[in-house]
Amino acid sequence: MITLEATKILKDKILSKRKKMIGMSSGMHWIKIHQEVREVLEEGFAKLGIEQLSKVTGFSVEDVSRWITQAQAIKELSGRVAACKRNGRMVNSLTIYIRADVCRLARLAGIRTTSVTTGVARASIKNWLALGYDTEASPDNMPALAESASVAAETEIPPIERDEEATQLAQFLERHKGKVHKKYSLAEKKLMMALGERFGSKAVHDYFGVSYDTIARLKRRQDDEIERKARTPLRYLPVLDLMKKHPGMGPMQMRDYIHRHLGLSMGVNSIRKIMEQHGWVPPFVKTTRIANGTQLYEAARKNYLWHMDFKHQYVNKCKCFLLFIQDDYARFIVGHGIADGEKVDVVIAAMEESIRIHGKPESVMSDGGSAFHAWRGSSRFTRFLEDYGIEQMIASTPNVNGKLENLNQQVEKELLMTTEFASVDHFRKELSKWVGHYNFSRPHQGLGDRQVPADRYFPGAGTWYGKNSDVIRQQSLIAETMGSLLAQLKKSS
């Protein structure tokens, strides 16, 4: 029961804040009331009823009841903001649930007051206001989802489940189950964007488990492609041609390639600007950090040390294993292959073919995989190397076999992430083309002086590779004609 003494004490507190209450009008929002007055009123909410508090303060019952509702709403919003934080920092993929309410509150009471009340950084509120998040619908009541919900209520089946592309995307995403870091293919990204346009980002997130960050990044890339491209000077047209032929190349690789094959000197920053204007986005490839103190090394001559490793890759639903054999001195890919598993037969066959074409290496380095090494006894591959008199070296960490790890990153960036493969045979053909381009045409930044791997492995080979095929065809036709004439002369004699 509320005593008269408690009422008198609360009334005295309110009267002591009368200077702070000057300017308070009917309809004022709770967050715009002075903080000291709010503290006293909150005490009144807990101790007095609405009517009693209205009599003590002199405000109408409607104002007091509205303030109670608004105070509860702000308290609930602060709790939702706290739920969007992990380790004291906001999680971008969760802010979609609170940013519209925070922006509306900021327009009403100011950025500083909203930041203090909710705990959201002022920089984040400014950014959300600039992007206009307070004008968009709440994620729980988006127009597209509202229409979907009405249709679903009639059919009792969510519309996204009845979509053929959604069924296809669900089959593709089966391979990502249980993985922390997910690398989506080009086909999966296209399906995500198509479904996001029809059903909304939240529906794609809830049904497939794709993060909001991923959907937003794909949307930004799509918007960049739709934007009108700036006019490109004629001098930089070779950059656009190379972007179409080799979309995985970066600005520095473009500079070296153009200087070597076209004899034109261009700045890296200028090339990067042209590429960004035409939709280039630096590809994300997971890299392994090299620990401090790791020593760099390079073989003294070719065929002194070969590196070997497998790379896993999905072609649609088929899992393939790429095997690369690379010379340490020249960075030349002496052998490669595609298999359905990390099998020692595949390794031995690729090694025999590489030795037949390029000669025997002095040593071979690989990781401790079952196809290369046996921790008990001697593996088949080890015995194979012993028969040839080749020394086997096992890398204790990925950094030791770093040149092959870098090669795996390059093939992922320049081929796997830029090409949609129709079949395994198509993948095999495209991989062979890329290996030829890597060995003979693409300048390797680790070699310097715009050299390609073939310049070191076969000095002078890079100058004749890729010449006009008509000239080569005419030379072979002349040689074939002369050979047939000599054969006929021998028969007649």
Same domain as 311, residue 454: yes
- Report pLDDT for 294: 56
Residues 411, 352, single domain; the answer is: yes
Q: Residue 213 falls within a domain, yes or no?
A: yes
| Phi/psi-derived region of residue 432, left when phi > 0, alpha when psi is between -120 and 50, beta in every other case | alpha
384/352 same-domain check: yes
* Confidence bin at 339 (pLDDT 50/70/90): confident
Rounded CA-CA distance 215/94 in Å is 13
Q: How far apart are CA 320 and CA 341, in angstroms?
A: 7
Q: What is the pLDDT of residues 460-482, one digit of tens each?
A: 554 444 444 444 445 555 666 66
Contacts by residues 256-261 (CB-CB < 8 Å, ≥ 24 positions apart): 256/443, 256/445, 256/450, 257/441, 257/442, 257/443, 259/450, 260/443, 260/450, 260/452, 261/441
* In the predicted structure, residue 122 carries a pLDDT above the cut 80: yes
* Structure confidence by residue, pLDDT tens digits, 157-168: 456 777 788 888
Total number of domains in the chain: 6
- The span from the CA of 112 to the CA of 134, in Å, is 17
Do 331 and 450 lie in one domain? The reply is yes
Residue 480 is predicted with a pLDDT of 65
Considering the domain architecture, whether residues 314 and 443 belong to the same structural domain is answered as yes
Within a domain: 299? no
pTM check: above 0.75: no
Does 203 lie in the same domain as 147?
yes
Residue after which a domain boundary falls, among 60, 76, 92 = 76
Residues 329 and 264 in one domain: no
371-410 pLDDT per residue, tens:
888 877 788 888 888 888 989 888 878 778 888 888 888 8
Q: Are residues 349 and 205 in the same domain?
A: no
Q: Are 278 and 243 in contact (CB under 8 A)?
A: yes
How do residues 179-216 score in pLDDT, each as one tens digit? Answer: 777 888 888 888 888 888 877 787 888 888 888 888 88
Higher-confidence residue of 21 and 148: namely 21
Give residue-wise pLDDT tens across range 407-441.
Answer: 888 888 888 888 888 888 888 899 999 998 888 88
Indicate whether 455 and 483 sit together in one domain.
no
> Which pLDDT score, from 0 to 100, does residue 479 have?
62
**pLDDT higher than 60, residue 292:** no
Q: Determine, yes or no, domain membership for 289.
A: no
Q: CA 435, CA 428: separation in Å to the nearest integer? A: 11
Confidence of residue 318 (pLDDT cuts 50, 70, 90): confident
Give the pLDDT score at 133.
76
Residue 141's pLDDT is 36
Tell whether 288 is covered by a domain.
no
Q: Is the pLDDT of residue 174 over 80?
A: yes
Q: What is the residue range of 384's domain?
A: 306-459
What pLDDT digit, counting tens, does each position of 59-103 carry? 777 777 777 787 877 777 777 777 777 766 777 666 777 878 888
Whether 293 maps to a domain, the answer reads: no
Q: Residue 45: exposed, middle, or buried by beta-carbon count in 10 A (0-12, 13-18, 19+)? A: middle
Is 39 a domain residue?
Answer: yes
- List, for residues 98-117, the tens digit of each pLDDT value: 878 888 778 777 788 788 87
Short-list 485, 190, 188, CA closest to 317 = 188
Residue 89's SS3 state is strand
Residues 340 and 415 in one domain: yes
Least confident window among 25-34, 127-136, 141-150, 232-241: 141-150
When pLDDT is cut at 50, 70 and 90, the band that residue 154 belongs to is: very low
Burial class of residue 87, CB neighbours in 10 A (0-12, 13-18, 19+)? exposed
Query: Are residues 264 and 321 located together in one domain of the fold?
Result: no
Q: Is the pLDDT of residue 308 over 80?
A: yes
**Same-domain pairing of 211 and 244:** no
Compute the mean pLDDT over every residue in the chain, rounded to the nearest whole number.
Answer: 76
Lowest mean pLDDT among 195-199, 264-268, 485-489: 485-489
Tell me the CATH number at 397. Answer: 3.30.420.10
Per-residue pLDDT at 1 exceeds 50:
no
In a domain, 298, yes or no: no
On whether residue 184 sits in a domain, the answer given is yes
